[in-house]
């Protein structure tokens, strides 16, 4: 319950222009700062270069008018840590969406490594000018942002305010929006205690507040959290890239399996099935956001309850744990046909 109220306070501060609460409160920073600097040196000791460019047309063999997909956000959305275009999350999502829709998908990736939430405004500008958008917003925008805000100690309310504005602009332009919320940085191997605990707490706090802001504005969210925590712990060499911070191709594929069903549902390609509802099913959005932050792989989207979209405590929201959608290998080949 405390996490739900914290997320609600952050979202409220974002809405009214306040700075919100900080992730670390009154904790003494000396040891934490020293450990953060050490972790940063360890992470950046193995440079990975720029992420591969995966923009292009996927599933051209299907025929028909292509769907337009834009990836927005930070290094996770950009695909830093892998070496081939088909290993990036954008390419995997475009190929998977094409297979599900039985239509081509034109992918544009405007995400940038190192981006914080304040960069979303410029990225949305580019998204609205992307190929295939046809003078309006893309059919679907996927946003992955937040990790750099946590490591940069950006006030959560400030981060959420930028995300909320980005979602508003995309929805006003006619785009469906899916937000992959802030991952749990407490799973990153170079982090030691107490930095690991602080990173986990700050990440989940931001993820819950992101969910409130995004769902209130008509987006769907998917909690990435420590979705890959067990896999990373059991086999870090194959799930992490060489920098020990960003996922490998296998790690990105696991995250994409959680995001793709929400993308399909946003475009009306898969219904919201009631038997996939989690817990109490329909909750005020701030309570749904808190539950999702603790249950990686959970989708949250706005819904109606007893004929109304809003209750006395805000927007109604549904929590779903979706199964990974099947794809046909031949149709989901991830190499783009330019």
CATH of the domain at 292: 3.40.50.1110
- Is the pLDDT reported for residue 121 higher than 60? yes
Q: Residue 219 domain-assigned?
A: yes
Determine which of 106-110, 212-216, 270-274 has the lowest per-residue pLDDT on average: 270-274
Query: pLDDT tens digits, residue range 176-224?
Result: 999 999 987 666 555 555 556 677 788 889 999 999 999 999 999 999 8
- Is the pLDDT reported for residue 24 higher than 60? no
**275, 292, 272: which is closest to 284 by C-alpha?**
292
Highest-pLDDT range among 61-75, 177-191, 260-274: 61-75
Per-residue confidence (pLDDT) for residue 41, from 0 to 100: 53
E strands, the chain, are 56-58, 67-73, 105-109, 140-144, 176-180, 220-222, 277-284, 298-302, 310-311, 314-321
264 is in which domain, residue-wise? 2-18+32-46+55-321
Q: Residue 291 domain-assigned?
A: yes
Helices (H), 137-283: 147-151, 156-172, 195-216, 229-234, 236-239, 249-266
- Is the pLDDT reported for residue 34 higher than 60? no
Residue in 62, 83, 243, 272 annotated catalytic: 243
Rounded mean pLDDT, 150-165? 91
Q: To 5 degrees, how large is the angle CA 69–CA 300–CA 246?
A: 60
Rounded mean pLDDT, 128-144? 84
Q: Is 246 or 81 the better-scoring residue by pLDDT?
A: 81
Q: Is 312 or 218 the better-scoring residue by pLDDT?
A: 218
Q: Is 10 or 140 the better-scoring residue by pLDDT?
A: 140
Residue in 55, 68, 74, 75 annotated catalytic: 75
Active site residue 75: yes
Q: To 5 degrees, how large is the angle CA 30–CA 36–CA 40?
A: 150
Q: Residue 24 domain-assigned?
A: no
Q: Residue 292 domain-assigned?
A: yes
Residue in 246, 248, 301, 327 annotated catalytic: 246
Per-residue confidence (pLDDT) for residue 1, from 0 to 100: 47
Give one word for 10, left, alpha or beta, with left for phi > 0 and alpha for psi -120 to 50. Answer: alpha
Per-residue confidence (pLDDT) for residue 215, from 0 to 100: 96
Per-residue confidence (pLDDT) for residue 184, from 0 to 100: 76
Query: pLDDT tens digits, residue range 165-188?
Result: 999 999 999 999 999 999 876 665
Q: Residue 25 domain-assigned?
A: no
- Is the pLDDT reported for residue 241 higher than 80? no
Active site residue 68: no
Per-residue confidence (pLDDT) for residue 23, from 0 to 100: 43
Q: Residue 64 domain-assigned?
A: yes
Q: Is 338 or 198 the better-scoring residue by pLDDT?
A: 198
Per-residue confidence (pLDDT) for residue 282, from 0 to 100: 87
Per-residue confidence (pLDDT) for residue 19, from 0 to 100: 45
Count of domains in the chain? Answer: 1
Rounded mean pLDDT, 135-160? 89
Query: How far is it, in rounded angstroms, from Cα 59 to Cα 336?
Result: 7
Per-residue confidence (pLDDT) for residue 45, from 0 to 100: 44
For the chain, percent of residues with pLDDT exceeding 90: 40
Q: Residue 335 domain-assigned?
A: no
Per-residue confidence (pLDDT) for residue 219, from 0 to 100: 97
- Is the pLDDT reported for residue 37 higher than 80? no
| Residue corresponding to tokens 């870090």 | 236
Query: How far is it, in rounded angstroms, from Cα 232 to Cα 68?
Result: 32
Per-residue confidence (pLDDT) for residue 212, from 0 to 100: 95
Quote the mean pLDDT of the chain.
77
Q: Is 153 or 263 the better-scoring residue by pLDDT?
A: 263
Q: Is 199 or 285 the better-scoring residue by pLDDT?
A: 285
Q: Residue 73 domain-assigned?
A: yes
- Is the pLDDT reported for residue 271 higher than 70? no
Whole-model pTM: value is 0.81
Q: Is 270 helix (H, G, I), strand (E, B) or coil?
A: coil
């Amino acid at each position: 319950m405390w996490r739900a109220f914290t997320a609600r306070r952050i979202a409220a501060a974002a809405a009214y222009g306040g700075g919100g609460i900080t992730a670390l409160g009154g904790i003494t920073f000396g040891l934490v700062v020293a450990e953060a600097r050490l972790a940063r040196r360890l992470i950046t000791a193995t440079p990975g270069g720029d992420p591969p460019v995966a923009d292009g047309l996927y599933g051209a063999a299907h025929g028909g008018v292509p769907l337009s997909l834009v990836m927005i956000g930070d290094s996770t959305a950009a695909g830093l840590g892998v070496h081939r275009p088909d290993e990036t999350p954008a390419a995997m999502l475009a190929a998977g969406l094409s297979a599900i829709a039985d239509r081509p998908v034109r992918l544009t990736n405007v995400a940038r490594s190192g981006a914080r939430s304040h960069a979303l405004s410029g990225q949305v500008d580019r998204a609205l000018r992307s190929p295939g958008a046809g003078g309006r917003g893309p059919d679907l925008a996927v946003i992955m942002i937040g990790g750099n805000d946590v490591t940069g100690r950006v006030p959560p309310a400030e981060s959420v305010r930028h995300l909320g504005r980005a979602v508003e602009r995309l929805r006003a332009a006619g785009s469906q929006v899916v937000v992959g919320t802030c991952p749990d940085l407490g799973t990153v191997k170079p982090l030691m205690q107490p930095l690991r605990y602080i990173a986990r707490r700050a990440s989940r706090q931001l993820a819950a507040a992101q969910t409130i802001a995004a769902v209130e504005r008509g987006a769907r969210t998917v909690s990435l959290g420590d979705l890959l925590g067990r896999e990373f712990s059991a086999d870090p060499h194959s799930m992490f890239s060489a920098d020990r911070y960003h996922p490998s191709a296998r790690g990105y594929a696991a995250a994409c399996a959680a995001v793709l069903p929400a993308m399909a549902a946003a475009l009306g390609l898969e219904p919201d099935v009631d038997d996939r509802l989690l817990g109490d099913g329909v909750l005020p959005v701030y309570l749904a956001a808190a539950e999702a932050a603790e249950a990686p792989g959970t989708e949250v989207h706005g819904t109606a309850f007893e004929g109304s979209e809003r209750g006395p405590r805000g927007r109604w929201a549904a929590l779903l744990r979706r199964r990974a959608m099947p794809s046909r290998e031949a149709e989901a080949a991830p190499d783009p046909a330019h």
